Each structure stands twice: as C-alpha cells, then as structure tokens.
Amino acid sequence: MLEINIPEVVAEFTPVYLEYQKAVDTNDFETMNKLFWNSPQTVRFGPVGTLIGYDKISSYRRERLGHVSAERALRNTVITTFGRDFAATNTETLKAGSTVIGRQSQSWIRTDKGWRIASAHVSDQPGT
C-alpha cells in the first residue's frame, strides 16, 4: 500500500517547494532551472504554450531574465506526497495589486540530485 503524506517526507519536501516559489518571485533563473528535472521528458504547460524538455524550459527562462517578477501570495496550497519519491503540489497565486488568480500545479520526483519538478502547469483562473 502506498503511504500518503509520510510526515518526514512532507517535512523534507516542503522547504524545497518553498525554495522554488521564492525563486519564481525573485526571478532566480539558476534556482528555477536547478529544481526542474533535467530530462527531455520534463513538461511545462503555461500561458506561453507547451514546453517539452528541460532545454526548452530553460531556454524560455533565459529569454525572460530581464523580466521583473513580483512576489505572490500563495493560497489554497495542497502538498501531497505519495510514498517517499513523488509529490504533487497545487496552489493559487495572487500578485500584489492584481485581482487575477493564478493557478499552479506540479509533479515532483526524488532524483539522485534531490527533489525536481517533472511536470508543471501554470494558468490564470478563467474569468479573472
């Protein structure tokens, strides 16, 4: 039987998840890239379209290096770990001064280099 939310796994994973969120808020290109799984199977769906493969995701981030990021408030965040090597995250985001609710979901895997995002989806809530 697969164990859900083993306390020590959740405790280990949560700071890595928050490190990624901080990297997004501060446009920390290196940390964002570090926390994505370096694989041709990595996927990111977002407002700019479908990015398949670590290299395409990294290239997209590199093109945005001058982009000014804004700190976001996270809300309705749900972190679920499955066993010791897989986590799913879902959250809503709200940038300061905006009424647009962002949505973000990620699938994380434990690799030999630590927790990495294997799949990500970013979108705005319809009608906001």
Q: What is the DSSP string of 99-116?
A: -PEEEEEEEEEEETTEEE
pLDDT digits (tens, 9 = 90+) for 74-125: 999 999 999 999 999 999 999 888 889 999 999 999 999 999 999 999 999 8
pLDDT digits (tens, 9 = 90+) for 3-27: 999 999 999 999 999 999 999 988 8
pLDDT digits (tens, 9 = 90+) for 93-107: 998 888 899 999 999
The structural domains of the chain, ordered by start, are 7-124 (3.10.450.50)
pLDDT digits (tens, 9 = 90+) for 25-80: 888 999 999 999 999 999 999 988 999 999 999 999 888 766 666 789 999 999 99
Q: Given 3-state DSSP classes, what are the helix, strand and coil percentages for the chain, each rounded to the nearest 5?
A: 30, 40, 30
Alpha-carbon distances, residue 124 vs 47, 58, 82 (angstroms): 8, 22, 27
Q: Mean pLDDT of all residues in the chain?
A: 93
The C-alpha angle 106, 59, 22, rounded to 5 degrees, equals: 45
Q: Which of 42, 3, 24, 9 is nearest to 114 (CA)?
A: 9
The C-alpha angle 21, 111, 92, rounded to 5 degrees, equals: 25
